[in-house]
Amino acid sequence: MGMVGGSLDAFIGAVHRRAAAFDNEIELVCGVFSQTPEKSKATGKALYLSDERVYTSFEEMIQREKELPEGERMDFVSIVTPNHMHFPPAKMALENGFHVICDKPMTLNLEEAKTLAGTIEKSGLVFALTHNYTGYPMVKEARDMVRSGKLGKLRKVVVEYPQGWLSKYEEGNNYKQAIWRTDPAKSGAAGCIGDIGTHAENLAEYITGLKITELCADLTTFVEGRLLDDDGNILLRFEDGAKGVLHASQIANGEENSLKIYVYGELGGLEWHQMEPNTLKYKTQEGQRIIRPNVGDLSASAKAHWRMPAGHPEGFFEAFANLYRNFAFAVKAHINGEEHDPIYDFPGAEDGVRGLAFIDTVIASNKSEQKWTKFVQ
């Protein structure tokens, strides 16, 4: 693996590196960790990389790695930069024969996302998008319960993602994460909706297997001086007649990382909370059942993504690691000319395009005088 972004003072870079290393399927061999050469070199040294494999730009890294003999050069690039720097290294890596795993959203805007999706298809290479919440075993179980008809025909989906960390004007306090995430030039056209609303949208579509067809959005920027939305409330219409509500906020004072989803069908309902990830509730009018990893008869997919005996908690890092492991399996299969086992799934280009289309549709709906706006990608 080669990495773009993720210097020592970047939170998400360390998360990606730990997730990638978790299953001993991936070795970090090179990187350009910052636009500042000194910071990139210092990060490489701290990670025990040889000086000649720590680069000053992604262009240099891709070109130099391509010149190395097969078996010595990197096999793929992990992109963990702010949003505006997803598209350029991803496109160049794919065009030069390297697989790509990229943080979400896939690109800065929908036009770039569609272009990158075309590049991925043309290259025939493996691309993964780190919607990491899909990596939890109980999310897999929820999806498989819906697929098996356990809930019957779906009627209602409620997904919410409240955070409180931007309740104040943090971007004015030299807070790096707040600065770029609220800057349209680096984050894109949306703030809260692009950052965490897309996670909620992706999780809802992943578990239900239904695509959003229309939505009605109300966005607000509550904090004075902020350039992008920090709160959103969205009504959803799914294919096959299901209705939904999506609420995302970064000014929900006192909230941490409280992603939750509720799915209701004719026969029963499901409930899952990210902050209690090893518990899935299955509910009917006759009562409710608590479903836990490695307890009872779970789906093959859930079993494939749980590592420990029952009662041993797993969480955020393991779910993130599941995506990297599954991606590594797909890259290995590609290298060996083999078929990749679909049980080891991960989000891809279509999820990325839909995420950017979701952002655009939400913004258009918020500006429109009409009640409903069609979801078009």
Is pLDDT at 157 greater than 90 in this prediction?
yes
Tell me the β-bridge partners of 158: 245, 262
Spans of all domains in the chain:
2-129+326-346, 136-308+352-367
Name which CATH class applies to 2-129+326-346. Answer: alpha beta
pLDDT band of residue 249 (cuts 50, 70, 90) is very high
Query: In the prediction, which pLDDT does 187 show?
Result: 97
Is pLDDT at 254 greater than 90 in this prediction?
yes
Query: Which residues have a Cβ under 8 Å from the Cβ of 287 and sit 6 or more positions away?
Result: none
pLDDT in tens, 333-369: 999 999 999 999 999 999 999 999 999 999 999 999 9
Query: In the prediction, which pLDDT does 335 show?
Result: 96
Rg (CA), the chain: 21
Cα dihedral 257, 162, 321, 97 in deg (nearest 10): -140
B/e letters for 267-298, b = 16+ CB within 10 Å, e = fewer, are ebbbbbbbeebbebbbeeeeeeeebbbbeeeb
Mean pLDDT over 225-247 rounds to 98
Q: Which CATH number does the domain 136-308+352-367 belong to among 3.30.360.10, 3.30.420.40, 1.10.630.10, 3.30.465.10?
A: 3.30.360.10
Q: Do domains 2-129+326-346 and 136-308+352-367 have the same CATH topology?
A: no
Is pLDDT at 11 greater than 90 in this prediction?
no
Sign of CA dihedral 224, 230, 236, 239: positive
pLDDT in tens, 119-134: 999 999 999 999 999 9
Tell me, what amino acid is at 112?
E
Q: Whole-prediction pTM value?
A: 0.96
Mean pLDDT of the chain: 97
pLDDT band of residue 104 (cuts 50, 70, 90) is very high
Mean pLDDT over 206-224 rounds to 98
Query: In the prediction, which pLDDT does 103 show?
Result: 97
Query: In the prediction, which pLDDT does 366 show?
Result: 97
Q: How far apart are CA 298 and CA 236, in angstroms?
A: 30
Mean pLDDT over 59-84 rounds to 97
Q: How far apart are CA 361 and CA 377, in angstroms?
A: 9
Is pLDDT at 377 greater than 90 in this prediction?
no
pLDDT in tens, 282-331: 999 999 999 999 999 999 999 999 999 999 999 999 999 999 999 999 99
pLDDT in tens, 175-213: 999 999 999 999 999 999 999 999 999 999 999 999 999
Query: In the prediction, which pLDDT does 36 show?
Result: 93
Q: How far apart are CA 368 and CA 346, in angstroms?
A: 34
Q: Are 89 and 77 in contact (CB under 8 A)?
A: yes
pLDDT band of residue 10 (cuts 50, 70, 90) is confident
